[in-house]
Amino acid sequence: MRGPLIIVVRRRHLLLALLALLAGVVLGALPLVARVRPAAAPVADAISGRIVAIDAGHGGPDPGAIGVSGAREKDITLAIAIKLEQLLRRAAVYTLMTRTGDHDLVQGEHAAHRQREDLQRRAALVNRSGAHVFVSLHANTSPRPVCPGPHSFYRGGEETRRRLPGATQHARGARLGPNRRQARPADLRILRDVEAPAALVEVGFLSNPEEERRLQDPEYQWRVAEAIADGIFAFLAAQYAGEPTSRGRPGGGRGGL
């Protein structure tokens, strides 16, 4: 009976074999990359360089809705807005934040008609920026504590204005689970005054104890932000297909601009 067969592999030969294997993997993947890139490029051109204005609802002396355990709408909307801005900027989208801290846009502590003036200032800021998209983030309440789920609103009267909130509503269903709600028209000042395609997004119900808990969780906030970003990307890709933007940095504005 023969002894065991021993194969000696020199280090140089092993290295050459590994390099050949790696080259085969890369070359084999090239056709896949070539197939994907032509489809992705028009989408990237439609998105890159656009301006998205993000409005974290309320702020400063106006806490917005208060949850059953004390969560404040103004804090939740700002947390999600900051995450949404990061996601958009990673996709080469310019952003404008109407606020980046716990404040509103009204000067003076005792200004009359503070809420109305605040909304007017937010709309004027967005309009000056030349934004292609405007998203205002809010959190809802209901006398029925079992009411769950996000909801989107748009300015009525123009069917084209339904596309953005419709896209965000659909994307949130895909990211956060089934949601039978449809985007609805609403006569809201911020939607009336902003010139860009606009959506007011209620991210959930603070009157629902379970949803209030989720909305305070940073990981869930990321999921909400990702869902809204998905909707914005889908809208921009459909609205501006074949219309690449200038890569120049837009002037004026605050926040990410």
Task: With CA atoms as reference, report the closest residue to 56 among 29, 32, 36, 80.
Answer: 80
- Strands of 184-185's sheet, edge to edge? 94-97, 51-56, 133-140, 198-205, 151-154, 184-185
> Residue 19 domain-assigned?
no
Outline where the chain has alpha helix (H): 11-47, 73-90, 114-129, 163-176, 189-193, 209-215, 218-239
Q: Which residues of the chain have pLDDT under 70?
A: 1-41, 110-111, 157-161, 169-174, 177-180, 244-257
> Residue 87 domain-assigned?
yes
Is the pTM higher than 0.85?
no
> Residue 7 domain-assigned?
no
* Cβ-based neighbours of 191, under 8 Å, separated by 6 or more: 136, 153, 154, 155, 198, 200
Position 149 scores a pLDDT of: 80
Q: Could you give the CA distance from residue 185 to residue 173 in angstroms, rounded to a whole number?
A: 19
> Residue 22 domain-assigned?
no
> Residue 98 domain-assigned?
yes
CATH number at residue 206: 3.40.630.40
> Residue 256 domain-assigned?
no
Q: Work out how many domains the chain is built from and give that number.
A: 1
Parallel, antiparallel, or unpaired: how do β-strands 151-154 and 198-205 relate?
A: antiparallel
> Residue 180 domain-assigned?
yes
How crowded is residue 157: how many other Cβ atoms within 10 Å of its Cβ? 9
Helix (H, G, I), strand (E, B) or coil at 48: coil
Parallel, antiparallel, or unpaired: how do β-strands 133-140 and 184-185 relate?
A: unpaired
Q: Which residue has the tokens 């993947």?
A: 29
Position 62 scores a pLDDT of: 96
> Residue 3 domain-assigned?
no
Position 251 scores a pLDDT of: 45
Structural domain of residue 130, as residue ranges?
Answer: 48-239
